[in-house]
A and B are shown apart, each in its own frame.
Chain A
Amino acid sequence: MYKLAEKPYDDPVEMRKVFCDTLMELAEKNKDIIVLDADLMGAMGTKPFLQKFPEQTVDCGIQEANMVGVAAGLSAVGKVPFVHTFAPFITRRACDQVFVSGAYAKLNVKLVGSDPGITAALNGGTHMPFEDMGIMRGIPEMTVLEPTDTVMLADIIRQISGVYGMHYMRLVRKQSVRIYEDGSTFEIGRAVTLREGKDVTIIASGYCVAEALKAAEELSVRGIGARVLNMFTWKPLDTEAVVKAARETGAIVTAENHNVINGLGSAVAEALVKNSPVPVEMVGVQDQFGEVGPVDYLAERFELKAENIVAAVEKVRMRK
């Protein structure tokens, strides 16, 4: 069960702190929880895990392909490896290892890619993945997740540690906007309805969730009732919630910190055309590379803000 925070707010606790704390909580009870990294433990804030559980930590050095393969091997002998590096490196650079040694071999690896999309900020285009979720979504049987805030993150880590199979989770390292109350729990594969509405549905993930809520506020001032779904599981997609939204609100806007090609917009559109086609607009990165800049600048540059969502809603309603 989940409960919404009274109002979204900037969480003073960083995502990486909760990532590390939750893994320590699990490792305390389970010696098979193994944390692997490719020389980014400092950046990911997992040094406390290393200090407390040195025997359950494997810092491989800068070798992502080997790290993913080692994790696959560890899982073959019963370990539960959580493997972290920046999202582009785990999904692009080690893609074939994820595919063959992990997924095709039906092993049990938890892949964690940090700094998704514009949150790569000052690391710029080389490090700014707008395609990571799409790459992972194309791999059979992979569960693909984007936890929204620290509360959801902790719940998802606990859940996937106990579910056999391949999981990819993209993860903001630093601050996120807090949406949920402490203690909330979630069902993987089920969208969260953040707000009811009858005129349009905004389906959002990650960075864009808080922007979607702001957009819905603005739209209500204009007399438009916008339903907001937090689609934190990109695969398996909650087709039922998408179809229901289409039938009940007649128009959909997707909002993602990702390329709209092979992104959340694509996933939603696939579900709609097969079941209940309605007009869709897609807020997201329009097939572009990343660049350097602060997150706020990049959100404007790539048009991921509430105002862009509002504009997309106005547009999609014209097409109803």
Chain B
Amino acid sequence: MLNVEKIREMNIFSRRIQMEVVKMIAGLGIGHLGGSLSVTDLLSVLYCNQMKYDPKNPQWEDRDWFILSKGHAGPALYSTLALKGFMPVEELATLNRPHTKLPSHVDRTKTPGVDMTCGSLGQGASAAAGIALGFQMDGKDNYVYVAFGDGEINEGQVWEMALFAGHRKLSHLIGFVDYNKLQLDGPTDEICKLGDVAKKFEEFGWYAQSVDGHDVAAIDEAIERAKAQSEKPSMIVLNTVKGNGWSRSANQVGSHSRGLNEEELKEALAEMQAAIDSY
């Protein structure tokens, strides 16, 4: 069980990631805001409590791997990595500028701590399964975490992988769907209805759970349950709010890709700081 202090640490860290995200995107003028903000509670749990990693040695052989299949949420991952010491926080200001190590979509060849190149949706699925399969072949116990967007699981490749990983019993593969109910063109229910996502993965041979994706303790406990079983890959559906953390972006279709002006940035940071103060 998590103690209250750990929960507080993870909540605060999530807001700190969000603050860096809004600063990065405001600095550039445009970016994938909504899907970055909805996934920070997951990133906080992974990087504060679950994953094995070494910022001084990003290629550490015994580390756990994190694949951000929804590669457009790069800003959230970059902020996480910078705050955990993989790179200086000042580097975040280079997002999407020429010669940056921080491109819009995550790139394993450019950013320390980024384990796979993703951006063409659905592809992180198979790469994650391949990495987990490689570890299974070698009898290693590294965990492989992979995060999908909800719109992303429209892609057939995700379901090819789901069948494959279920069949191969890749129990050290733990997936997440950031189910914020909004994709670029509108609500997921209106664009291409997903139905009961957890049940679908269960049918594909996965150990599937559905939790509040903004409850760090619930996410952490779900990961613990996933690790406690060794028969199946795990899928944890995170019920989230797109653009979470700032009242003007929360649950807004338009938050997928947008900028923030100076006033908006101040307001967003104030709201996030207020949240931190409240923990």
Contact = CB atoms under 8 A, between A and B. Distances in A.
Of A63, A71, A75, the most chain B CB neighbours within 10 A belong to: A63
A97 B69 CA distance: 13
A70 interface: yes
A58 B161 contact: no
B127 interface: yes
Interface residues on B, range: 20 to 34
Contact of B127 (A58, A60, A76, A106): A76
Interface string B116-132: 11111011011111111
A78 B119 CA distance: 23
B116 A76 contact: yes
A78 B126 CA distance: 16
Contact of B130 (A55, A65, A73): A73
A73 B157 contact: no
Of A34, A60, A68, A73, the most chain B CB neighbours within 10 A belong to: A73
Interface residues of A, number: 30
Contacts of B109: 105-106
Nearest to B161: A66
Nearest to A36: B130
A72 interface: yes
Given A97-B157, A104-B117, A72 B127 contact: yes
Contact of A63 (B107, B116, B123, B164): B164
A223 B256 CA distance: 71
A58 B123 CA distance: 18
A67 B129 CA distance: 10
B262 interface: no
Nearest to A64: B160
A69 B126 contact: yes
Of A61, A79, A100, A104, the most chain B CB neighbours within 10 A belong to: A100
Of B109, B120, B126, B157, the most chain A CB neighbours within 10 A belong to: B126
Of B108, B156, B160, B163, the most chain A CB neighbours within 10 A belong to: B160
B228 interface: no
B164 A73 contact: no
B130 A74 contact: yes
Interface in A248-295: none
B137 interface: yes
Interface in B127-179: 127-135, 137-138, 156-157, 160-161, 163-164, 167
A300 to B, nearest CB: 39
Given A61-B163, A76-B116, A77-B134, A101 B108 contact: no
Of B109, B130, B167, the most chain A CB neighbours within 10 A belong to: B130
A75 B130 CA distance: 8
A208 B276 CA distance: 71
A74 to B, nearest CB: 4
Contact of B157 (A61, A65, A72, A76): A65
A96 interface: yes
A76 B131 contact: yes
A66 B126 contact: yes
Contact of A70 (B108, B135, B164): B164
Interface of A: 34, 55-56, 58, 60-61, 63, 65-79, 96-97, 99-101, 104-106
User: Top 6 closest A-B pairs, CB basis?
Assistant: A73-B130, A69-B126, A77-B134, A66-B160, A70-B130, A105-B117
20 contacts: A55-B137, A58-B133, A63-B164, A66-B126, A68-B126, A69-B123, A69-B127, A70-B127, A72-B127, A72-B130, A73-B128, A73-B129, A73-B132, A74-B131, A76-B115, A76-B134, A77-B131, A96-B120, A101-B117, A104-B117
